[in-house]
Structure 1
Amino acid sequence: MARNLMSDDEWAFFEGFIRAARHPNGRKPTDHRLVLDGIFWVARTGAPWRDLPEEFGKWSSVYRQFRRWTLAGLWEDILDVLNHAKLAPDKLQMIDSTVIRAHHHAAGAKGGLRKRLLAVQEVGSRPKSISALTALASR
């Protein structure tokens, strides 16, 4: 079994949110604790969903449940309760790297990369004939 699975106290905290977000469709509920452990494993390691260990279940099922909970607003509800309970320091912030953008100047000036590539090619290429060598020497 994977290490660092959530404790009973942690599960007791999350269980209420999960039961509230559950859609009553008549199906037998899956082991939501194991699914949540799988989601936390992916978040903690940064691994792709397909690399989720088999012990958490099929990666596609875990991802599908993660997506359902996301659309139901489960994660926002949990973060709101944690924020209002003051369980996390005020200085703690989460950064989503998908919205961090470099300044437009970081991409290079207009034509700058092309000019640099051409210069590198010119310096790195050998003359192919005596006349080309003579032309380079006369510069």
Structure 2
Amino acid sequence: MLNGIVFKFRSGVAWRDVPERYGSWRSLHTRFRRWAADGTFTRMLHAAQARADATGDVKWLVSVDSTIVRAHQHAAGARKGGARRSAGPGAG
């Protein structure tokens, strides 16, 4: 089951397109939803982290990236034909 769920997310295919060798796509989807709702994936992650930490397999170094991506001036959502300014309150 877990291999089928991992396959689905790593490959990006739809649930219906997961190969039959992993079982019924409906069963995979149902199990995924159930495990996500009841915290199974969180417990699996914590267990894997604890095991890796106990054996010294992981260096717990944190790296934070604050990359800035600049958008093109035309990507800002402005109206075509330039900005329209009002004369202010009460004008009209």
TM-score (norm. length: structure 1):
0.41
What is aligned with 2:35? 69
1:56 aligns with 2:26: no
Q: Which runs of 5+ in 2 are unaligned?
A: 64-68, 82-92
Is residue 49–residue 59 contact of structure 1 (8 Å, CA) maintained in 2? yes
Query: CA RMSD for the aligned pairs?
Result: 3.2
Q: Which runs of 5+ in 1 are unaligned?
A: 1-34, 94-101, 117-139
In structure 2, the CA distance between the partners of 1:48 and 1:84, relative to structure 1 (3 Å rule), is: same
For residue 50 of structure 1, report the CA deviation from its aligned partner.
1.6
**Among residues 28, 31, 40, which one is paired with 2:6 in the alignment?**
40
What is aligned with 1:130? none
What does residue range 1-139 of structure 1 map to in structure 2 within 5 Å?
35-85=1-51, 86=53, 87-91=57-61, 107-111=75-79, 115=80
Is residue 50–residue 59 contact of structure 1 (8 Å, CA) maintained in 2? yes
For residue 69 of structure 1, report the CA deviation from its aligned partner.
0.8
Q: How many residues are paired up? A: 71
Letter aligned with residue 21 of structure 2:
E
Which has the larger share of helix? 1
What is aligned with 2:87? none
For residue 82 of structure 1, report the CA deviation from its aligned partner.
2.1
Letter aligned with residue 78 of structure 2:
K
In structure 2, the CA distance between the partners of 1:103 and 1:77, relative to structure 1 (3 Å rule), is: farther
In percent, how many aligned pairs have the same letter?
A: 31
Higher gyration radius (CA): 1
For residue 40 of structure 1, report the CA deviation from its aligned partner.
1.6
